[in-house]
Amino acid sequence: MVFNSLSAAPISLSGLPNEALVRQQQLISYGVIPFSPSTLWRKVKAQEFPAPIKVSSHITAWRMSDIRAWANNPAAYRAPEASHV
pLDDT in tens, 37-76: 999 999 999 999 999 999 999 999 999 999 999 999 999 9
What residue spans define the domains of the chain? Answer: 24-85
Beta 21-22 vs 59-63: how paired, if at all? antiparallel
Which has the closest alpha carbon to 50: 25, 18, 85? 85
Read off the pLDDT of residues 31-48 as tens digits, 9 standing for 90 and up. Answer: 889 999 999 999 999 999
CA distance 72 to 50: 13
Read off the pLDDT of residues 6-33 as tens digits, 9 standing for 90 and up. Answer: 444 445 677 889 999 999 999 998 888 9
Query: In terms of pTM, does the model score above 0.85?
Result: no
What radius of gyration, in Å, describes the C-alpha atoms of the chain? Answer: 13
